Structure 1
Amino acid sequence: MVVKREEAGKRAKIVRMAAGQGKKLILVSLAGLIWIQPMVLMEPFGRTTSTVYAAESQATKLGTEDITSGAKLVKYQYTTTRSGKQVKVLADVIEVDLSNPYVQLDVMTGKGGQVTTRQSVEGMAQETGAVAGVNGDFFATGGQGVPMGAAVSQGTLVTSPAKLQGMFTFGVRSDNTPVIDRYNFTGTVMAEDGSTFPLTGINQESYTTEPDKAYSHVNNMFIYTSAWKSEERPKASGTTPTEVLVQGGVIQQISYQAAIPGQVPSDGYILRAHGQAADFIATHMTVGQRVDASYQLVSQTSGQQLNPSEFKMMIGGHTLLVDGGKASAFTRSTTSISGGSAVARTAVGYSQDGKKVYIITVEKNGSSSGLTLAELQKFMVSIGVWKGVNLDGGGSTTMVTRPLAETEAKLTFTTSNGSAGQRAVANGLGVYTTAPQGALKGLKVSGASTLLIGQTAAYSLKGYDIYYNPVDAAGIQATWKSDNGNVAWTGEGFKGIKAGTSKITAVSGDGKDSMEVTVLGGADLSSLTPVTTFASLEAGVSVSVPVTAKLKNGNTVNVPDESVKWEFTGMKASVQNGVLSVQSVNNGAKVAYATPKYDGFSGTPIVFSASSEQVWENFENATYPVSFTGLPTEAKGTAAIVQGTGEREKSKVLKLDYDLTGGSGNKFAYAQINGTTGKTIPEGATSMAIDVLGDASLNWLRAEFAAADGKSIYVDLARPLDFTGWKTITVDLTASAIKHPAKLKRLYVVNLEEGQDERALTGSVSFDNIRFTAPVTGGDTGMPSATVTMVAGQSSMTVDGKKQTLDVAPLIKDGTTYVPIKYVLDAFGGQAAWNAKAKKITVTRGTTVLELTVGKKEYMLNGAAKQSAVTPIIANNRTLVPLRLVSEQLGINVNWEKKTKTITLQS
């Protein structure tokens, strides 16, 4: 683009903005709500009451983290008095040393360096390679996402300042001196005949000007460059536009009273004119003629004309906050930005000597309550800001920084949006490094901070150089060690050996870093629960037995197989790779238990009991939906519960008709059970039997189960389906190691691409009488019956009329009767295990497993958490349990005779 050159060198040149030419434009944006249409100004502007640093306010430095050579993150806790109460607020400040040759500031703009493309600060930083950044300029949240202030990137004016009062900008000149000032924009367009027309702005959206309250584009001419992404230039400009496309300084196209379709080309710009400006174009411009455009910024403070090329960068802001090391008067009404409310804030300023820039954010989240603008002024003064300006705040306030040894900037703190994450903003202020690769300076160790006994975890190592930039970890050879025997280095990671805390250290040359690793012991657990609750008691049965531990701090962890030891009662079994296999059943045992143990902590046992075949579905009274789906999309068919035919004419069946002639590749016809959800199968099922009406299609017939861990389990029913008529198919489910609770999702036909010409593409199969063999999960399987009588306060009881001595008498406390459970179980069958560390008693009887903890109202019944109004107690060094709670859960009837204080138990 050709422009007129002025002798004073103060007028800027419109430059080419081709995609991929040099560094992408980076626009610093503080994107939030500021009303600009209309804007009510207050004259004079309200002054802050905090013109001095109040004694009751104090900034305490919490820590410093290097980001790169010349930039560091300083974390503060700022204490102030608000409404008569002391408040502590967290602030994060990036200090940039402008005298350091390796650090630079620049504007980050939306996506691809273009306006109207809003993006999160983290997204802009990662796209442009910034090592740190914050949100930047204000923009109308209901508009196209264009900054209100001037944005300069590497000497190029990306957006001109809107004509608004009291809006300051922050910039860095070519000589690396910072400046905060207010600027106007002036420019001229010259036609080939020498006539001129004022140029109002560059890449601006429509707004209401101040103080005249006029529509920005009426009778005015603007330039739009390829930095403007949207095809609308801009929306709602107030009048019908005339547009001129200029490439190489020559008019290529003129569109009268209509916009030129499409985006601005990378090697040109578009003049957009309205009213009188459009008349000027109609009178003085013709396709093929040359046109010149020039512009400048003018300081409102000094009147000095400035070429944008004199600036490395510039970003717009709002009111001035600090001037001369003191809180300044607000230069603009702060009502629209909640100036008097404590919210998240963003600001930028510099030191008195002009060598240090402070990029400031104030947190508003669960750990920090934000600041008012007046409080922000005090904080800025307290940390050394000489002159500072407000940037966009509230939900837009975001800071990202690159942690040591990492390659990308990450969110520094939780934004006030919370779970909503980062807000997409118009631009941001980025920090960049040009430092070369230097020698290794330090290491960063990362990995699991907790281990279980027997668990091995890998730890990663990253490095950073003397300029605090990341070093390729592949070239780092390190030595690993631990300060004690709680963990041991295996050559591939650290293994938990015993409970306690260790400090692990990596050393490479002069680089060294450590981290603490805690090995969790049994005392850290509140429960240890296998996913499987019930299983069939027969030799050869295999079940998946992943174990989950709940810690006392409330967290839940998956326990590695190597960390669990198992205790077996009533059977011989083994566990390998998370699968328990029953080898043999003890003579006479009708119930057996597998109890997980961890460092002396006993978990909930898995109950193994006799199995029986259960009719799961005969389709006579099914109330759930059944539907057909096919793959590929050309696969057609139906699935429905219908009246059977022939020998099944008096019963209902699930019929699957399929037509797989369409599409290509492997083909599937599914009968979906209960929509996409499926229907729950019996716990611990070891086999499934199903009646199938075959069609001799030679396709495969399969079933799909959804396991508790989210995995799909596929089971072959017939491979191939080579029969006609009804046939009962039985399949073993033990090898599938299905994690319960599980569901049967669908029955389906598979037509493989390989050998497809040998299999039928159309056909029909039906299903009936689905049965599962599964353990009995209720009742008192094999448990003896008896009648037991006890009297509160007496150290004896009778069992079927025979008297026995008790070593501790039943007692009544707060209306609840407590008894020693051992004697009850001796009479009615079952056993009890006491965990002294956890003060937990585990009672097993038949297929019931009950866990109770002294002083804890929550108890576990067959792995499910329940609540009780009473808890076990300790009396005379013996543990007593609430009689009615325990007995009724174990299937034992309780009768209480109040007058004689007699307890009668029967089963």
Structure 2
Amino acid sequence: MAGVRTAMRCVVALALAAAPAGLVVPPAGAEPVGPEAASRWTALAPGVAYRELTVRTTHGSARVYAVRADLRRPGVRADLLFPGAVAARAPLTVLAGAHRAVAAVNGDFFDISEEQHPGVEATGATSGPAVYRGRALKAAVPEAQRFGWQPPPGDTAEDVLGVGVDGVARLGRLVLRGRLRAAGGGAWPLGGLNQYALPVGSIGVFTSDWGAVSRARAACGSDESRKAPCTADTWEVTVRQGRVAAVSATPGTGPIPAGSTVLLGREAGARALAGLPVGTPVAVDYRLASSGPVPFRFALGAHRLLRGGEAPAGLDDTVAEPRSALGLADGGRVLTLLSTDGREGTSTGLTLTELARTVRDLGCPDGAYLDGGASATLVARDRATGELTVRNHLDHGRERPIPNALGILTG
């Protein structure tokens, strides 16, 4: 029976890929979802389709909005959307419009508030790693410093969903591997890359990808608590052309010029950097090591919702919120973007358990959840007018500026 279901899903996915423009395409999932199982997918572009449905739960109903993209279709691709800097935010309609995306869904959880650290600016940077066009943008913050719902046991802030250089979407993990080496034989591991929180005692790297926001937040919190106080035991070093060009006892602010690298140390990391005077030759090497079979062309932080059709133990099954998710079918060659209503009107949102069931019922055996609440947003273009519109009902009717998203592009 499992083989029959798989075959059915592959046949339907192939039908989606071959469907002529404008044709109404049935869903890939063999299982119905709620009373609107007869609801159909409508084409947004060749290989890209849209659907709305209602999911009934014990606590009410939730309206769901989904976009399915066949990544095997020539010209159809997924990509990371972001405002051009890690520590920056923009509404999803702006991000999708700038990249001419056909559809998009909001991305990773992010540093949205610093009420516990008076005088420290929230960076807006995401908690998880990010890769853009094969380039490492940022690494994951320490587990205790991430924002968002607690992931299932065994998952970490390093978990991602992305598309590899082979064009296949997959779940994975990205771990920072890096080292600072100085003349005279000194060497130290790197604990961060363009991230809003550094491990205690570590050294982090900031590049021109970071943006103009202050780097002070990176010295706040601890490996056990995001709310722990900031440390004043810091040291910052600017590297240009392979040498220390400037030093400072406090984290800096403002854009980092291309070709320059800023090293920020806290506690033991600060003391190591303080031993590198201006003019010291240094080398900084880093990469995001992938757990997958091939490197990611792009990736963003996302947390496991399904693997092989099974939800992990420990998913929340009590709190219903607006949710966003990504689903994978046909071995990662079909990608589904999903978001819900919630907090507005009669829609109740979904628990993570219900979200997993919905993604599975839409024909996706693998999936991950993204930021939710007021961030949950899905946008899609109208095929007739070309207008890019928000499809779900937003918290208080307003788009929340977000740091990244996953977009579907064609052509």
Given the two structures, how large is their TM-score scaled by the length of structure 2? 0.77
Matched residue, 1:834: none
Matched residue, 2:296: 311
Equivalent pair of 2:302/2:370 in contact (CA under 8 Å): yes
> Is 1:326 matched up with 2:304?
no
Any residues of structure 2 matched to 1:550-629 within 5 Å, and which? Answer: none
Structure 1 residues not aligned, in runs of 5+:
1-52, 207-215, 436-907
Matched residue, 1:199: 190
Matched residue, 1:97: 70
Give the fraction of aligned pairs with identical amino acids, expressed as a percent.
26
CA distance in 1, matches of 2:188, 2:314: 35
With over 3 angstroms needed to count, the CA separation of the structure-2 counterparts of 1:190 and 1:58, relative to structure 1, is: farther
Residue from 315, 320, 336 that aligns with 1:358:
336
CA distance in 1, matches of 2:99, 2:374: 23
Greater CA radius of gyration, 1 or 2?
1
The one-letter code sitting in structure 1 at the alignment partner of 2:214 is E
Equivalent pair of 1:327/1:381 in contact (CA under 8 Å): no
SS state at 2:85 partner: coil
CA distance in 2, matches of 1:204, 1:381: 33
CA distance in 2, matches of 1:274, 1:343: 37
Equivalent pair of 2:234/2:251 in contact (CA under 8 Å): yes
CA distance in 2, matches of 1:75, 1:284: 58
Any residues of structure 2 matched to 1:424-503 within 5 Å, and which? Answer: 424-433=401-410, 435=411
CA distance in 1, matches of 2:62, 2:280: 62
Equivalent pair of 2:92/2:399 in contact (CA under 8 Å): yes
Matched residue, 1:115: 86
Equivalent pair of 1:56/1:81 in contact (CA under 8 Å): no
With over 3 angstroms needed to count, the CA separation of the structure-2 counterparts of 1:343 and 1:276, relative to structure 1, is: closer
Any residues of structure 2 matched to 1:701-712 within 5 Å, and which? Answer: none
The one-letter code sitting in structure 2 at the alignment partner of 1:205 is Y
CA distance in 2, matches of 1:58, 1:297: 44
Structure scoring higher RCO (CA < 8 A, sep ≥ 6) equals 2
Output one character per residue of 1:478-526: Cα deviation in whole Å (capped at 9) or x when no partner. xxxxxxxxxxxxxxxxxxxxxxxxxxxxxxxxxxxxxxxxxxxxxxxxx
Residue from 172, 177, 185 that aligns with 1:186:
177
SS state at 2:395 partner: coil
Aligned-residue offset at 1:104: 1.8
The one-letter code sitting in structure 2 at the alignment partner of 1:274 is R
Output one character per residue of 1:713-749: Cα deviation in whole Å (capped at 9) or x when no partner. xxxxxxxxxxxxxxxxxxxxxxxxxxxxxxxxxxxxx
Matched residue, 2:251: 259
Any residues of structure 2 matched to 1:504-583 within 5 Å, and which? Answer: none
Any residues of structure 2 matched to 1:136-155 within 5 Å, and which? Answer: 136-142=107-113, 143-155=122-134
CA distance in 1, matches of 2:74, 2:378: 23
Matched residue, 1:60: 37
Matched residue, 2:147: none
> Is 1:242 matched up with 2:226?
no
With over 3 angstroms needed to count, the CA separation of the structure-2 counterparts of 1:410 and 1:54, relative to structure 1, is: closer
Matched residue, 1:270: 262
Q: Of Structure 1 and Structure 2, which has the larger fraction of its residues in strand? A: 1
SS state at 1:417 partner: helix
With over 3 angstroms needed to count, the CA separation of the structure-2 counterparts of 1:373 and 1:290, relative to structure 1, is: closer
SS state at 2:281 partner: coil
With over 3 angstroms needed to count, the CA separation of the structure-2 counterparts of 1:61 and 1:157, relative to structure 1, is: farther
With over 3 angstroms needed to count, the CA separation of the structure-2 counterparts of 1:241 and 1:406, relative to structure 1, is: farther
CA distance in 1, matches of 2:213, 2:128: 21
Matched residue, 1:228: 210
Equivalent pair of 2:180/2:189 in contact (CA under 8 Å): yes
With over 3 angstroms needed to count, the CA separation of the structure-2 counterparts of 1:260 and 1:391, relative to structure 1, is: closer
CA distance in 2, matches of 1:394, 1:148: 16
Equivalent pair of 1:350/1:357 in contact (CA under 8 Å): yes
CA distance in 2, matches of 1:155, 1:408: 30
Equivalent pair of 1:361/1:398 in contact (CA under 8 Å): yes
> Is 1:386 matched up with 2:386?
no
SS state at 1:73 partner: strand
With over 3 angstroms needed to count, the CA separation of the structure-2 counterparts of 1:182 and 1:296, relative to structure 1, is: closer
> Is 1:340 matched up with 2:340?
no
SS state at 2:288 partner: strand
What is the number of equivalent residue pairs in this alignment?
350
Residue from 64, 82, 93 that aligns with 2:58:
82
CA distance in 1, matches of 2:258, 2:183: 23
Aligned-residue offset at 1:232: 1.1
Aligned-residue offset at 1:58: 5.7
Equivalent pair of 2:108/2:126 in contact (CA under 8 Å): yes
The one-letter code sitting in structure 2 at the alignment partner of 1:72 is A
CA distance in 1, matches of 2:32, 2:386: 42
Any residues of structure 2 matched to 1:366-405 within 5 Å, and which? Answer: 366=345, 368-405=347-384
Aligned-residue offset at 1:277: 2.0
CA distance in 2, matches of 1:326, 1:377: 9
The one-letter code sitting in structure 1 at the alignment partner of 2:43 is D
Given the two structures, how large is their TM-score scaled by the length of structure 1? 0.36
